[in-house]
Amino acid sequence: MALSGLFLISFLALHLAINLASVFSVELYNEWSHFMGYNKIVQLLLQPILVAGVVVHFVMGFVLEIQNRKARGAQGYAVKGGGTNSSWLSRNMILSGAVVLAFIGLHMYDFWLHEMTYKYVEQLPVDTERYHEFTVAKFSTIARTAIYSLSFVLLAMHLYHGFASSMQTIGLDNKYGKAIQAFAKVFAIAVPAGFIFIALYHHFNPLQ
Ligand code: HEM
């Protein structure tokens, strides 16, 4: 769970860096998007590894949740005092995770499906300048911008517990433990905030 989570976190950092370019430079965003979309190593090696990472994380999440529930059997706690030694976020990872997964479904429909159709179904000619326009247009409606932004808030909640917890799982609670935990918590808020910024920026700065 921890390793697949950390792998997905590294993807998120790269994904944010590429997407931030859509705010600062049309040329750079188009160039990077084209590279990611047509590079053989990215497409044939990294993309399948990413899909496998998502699947492993999702399946392991369910397995863990079921194990946790079974651990008490039918006999629940007499006093539900979860809040005394665990946070609300940590006890509801399955909930925030499910929202993030639902978001990924919508997101794949929005971007990935369009890309596959363009390249492999309709086999349209290579156009290195189509990416920016397509991305900005996705945020033209308030509904999509709101659904995306809300999903990023849930992503922050998921990461806030998940990132710090995965560090502990792999044994990084050494003498740098406090600093590592602090970094994980800042990351958990800053990265989704960056995605929200991009969504809002494109919504309020539509194409002319
Ligand atoms: C404003 C925010 C975001 C924008 C504008 C955005 C945009 C994009 C674009 C343009 C692609 C490329 C599709 C393709 O060519 O195949 C993509 C792929 C993807 N995005 Fe996002 N994204 C955002 C946030 C996120 C977040 C927060 C997550 C995860 C929770 C995410 C997960 C993915 C995944 C898993 C892929 C598939 C990568 C692949 O094609 O292999 N995205 N996104």
pTM more than 0.85? yes
pLDDT for 100-155, tens place per residue?
Answer: 999 999 999 999 999 999 999 999 999 999 999 999 999 999 999 999 999 999 99
Tally of CA atoms within 13 A in the half-sphere of 117 that contains its CB = 7
Does an H or E element contain 170, and which? none
The predicted structure's pLDDT at residue 175: 80
Which residues form the domain of 171?
Answer: 2-204
Most informative mutation of 111, 147, 157 for ligand 1 (most atoms within 8 A of CB): 111
The predicted structure's pLDDT at residue 174: 77
The predicted structure's pLDDT at residue 81: 62
Burial call 24-52: b when 16+ CB within 10 Å, e when fewer: eeeeebbebbbebbeeeeeeeeeeeeeee
**62 alpha carbon – ligand 1 mean position (Å):** 23
- Residue indicated by tokens 């890309």: 115
Domain count, the chain: 1
Query: pLDDT below 70 — which residues of the chain?
Result: 72-85
In sequence order, the 6+-apart residues with CB closer than 8 A to the CB of 154 are 96, 99, 100, 103
- Residue indicated by tokens 């430079």: 25
Around ligand 1, the residues with Cβ closer than 6 Å are 12, 15, 19, 37, 47, 50, 100, 104, 107, 111-112, 115, 135, 148, 152, 155, 195, 198-199
Most informative mutation of 30, 50, 112 for ligand 1 (most atoms within 8 A of CB): 112
